[in-house]
């Protein structure tokens, strides 16, 4: 079973990588948009990693934060925009984000993908924790040989400061960021109003 699963994951990752740059309109004017729903991915592989064992509490904090952000996104998309949404949280630190995304797409068809990423930029001039929310439209079709294809297209990406040098952003409720992102998705026509 494992010998079959590994090549399947590699094929899905390859397809994901190859079609990731394919073109899907930036503004989706399809009345059937999102009838398959939106998949929200977050968790391990999407958050900063720390090598020092003392920093594992920080890592756990970012995991909980990303889970909460995914929950806010799912709730608002479903309740305010009447669109199916589902969270997929990676709890395994040994699985990177691309592999996790490929595994999810091997199991489920959706119209859109939202990635919740937290990054920590720390160097001599900066020590900031950012939240990046990215949406990509997903389309399916057939290749000339009759096989299924999946195209991960264009979308939008927004970057927010969670914690800056002077703790700017740290007092902002997490659902402010998710609400702002969903508002922008709606304005661009990626999700129903």
pLDDT of residue 1: 45
Q: How far is CA 164 from CA 77, 100, 122, 150, in A?
A: 28, 29, 11, 38
* pLDDT tens for each residue of 115-145: 999 998 888 888 899 999 999 999 888 889 9
Give a three-class secondary structure readout of the chain: CHHHHHHHHHHHHHHHHHHCCCCCCCCCCCCCCCCCCEEEEEECCCCCCCCCHHHHHHHHHHHHHHHHHHHHHHHHHHHHHCCCEEEEEECCCCCCHHHHHHHHHHHCCCCEEEEEEEEEEECCCCEEEEEEEEEEEEEEEECCCCCEEEEEEEEEEEEEEEECCCCCCCCCCHHHHHHHHHHHHHHCCCCCC
pLDDT of residue 15: 42
pLDDT of residue 191: 85
pLDDT in tens, the chain (193 residues): 444 444 444 444 444 444 444 444 444 444 445 678 999 999 999 998 877 777 788 889 999 999 999 999 999 999 998 889 999 999 998 999 999 999 998 898 898 999 999 998 888 888 899 999 999 999 888 889 988 888 888 899 999 999 887 666 678 899 999 999 999 999 998 887 7
């Amino acid at each position: 079973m494992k010998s079959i699963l590994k090549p399947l994951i590699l094929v899905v990752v390859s397809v994901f990588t190859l079609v990731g740059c394919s073109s899907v309109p930036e503004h989706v004017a399809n009345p059937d948009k999102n009838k398959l729903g939106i998949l929200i991915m977050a968790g391990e592989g999407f958050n900063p990693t720390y090598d020092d064992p003392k920093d594992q509490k920080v890592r756990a904090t970012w995991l909980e934060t990303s889970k909460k952000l995914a929950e806010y996104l799912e709730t608002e998309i479903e309740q305010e925009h009447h669109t199916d949404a589902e969270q997929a949280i990676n709890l395994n630190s040994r699985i990177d984000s691309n592999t996790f995304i490929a595994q999810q797409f091997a199991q489920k068809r959706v119209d859109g993908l939202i990635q919740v990423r937290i990054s920590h930029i720390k160097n001599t001039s900066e020590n900031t924790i950012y939240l990046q929310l990215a949406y990509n439209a997903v389309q399916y079709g057939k290749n000339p040989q009759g096989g299924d294809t999946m195209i991960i297209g264009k979308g939008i990406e927004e970057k927010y400061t969670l914690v800056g040098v002077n703790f700017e952003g740290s007092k902002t409720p997490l659902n402010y960021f998710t609400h702002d992102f969903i508002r922008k998705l709606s304005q661009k026509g990626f999700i129903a109003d």
